[in-house]
Amino acid sequence: MLPKNEPREFDESKLMCSAHGCPNRWSVNMGKPLCSAHAWADPEHWGAITARILGRRHLGEEHGIASYYEPKDEF
């Protein structure tokens, strides 16, 4: 057992949505960890959803916005 003050290895990927390429942390467990954007959509739409998330993130960084809002999509 490690002493309390000893740093521990932590795999951050275990916190991430399991949809390929998604940068969001998971928040819904639907048999696998998914973010709320992917959890309620059909898997066939996941690629488009991830592209929108990444596009919004890019726009936020480009315009100096620290966070971004993900409105419900039509999927």
The separation between the first and the last C-alpha atoms of the chain, rounded to the nearest angstrom, is 47
Q: In a 10 Å sphere around its CB, with 0-12 CB exposed, 13-18 middle and 19+ buried, how is residue 68 labelled?
A: middle
34 in any annotated domain: yes
37 in any annotated domain: yes
Which residue range forms the structural domain that includes residue 45? 20-62
Residue 50 contacts residue 20 (beta carbons within 8 Å) = yes
71 in any annotated domain: no
R_g of the chain computed on alpha carbons: 15
Q: How many domains does the chain have?
A: 1
Residue 33 contacts residue 22 (beta carbons within 8 Å) = no
Query: 5 vs 66, which has greater pLDDT?
Result: 5
- What is the value of pTM for the model shown? 0.64
31 in any annotated domain: yes
Distance CA 62, CA 31 (A): 35
pLDDT digits (tens, 9 = 90+) for 40-75: 999 999 999 999 998 877 655 555 554 444 555 555
2 in any annotated domain: no
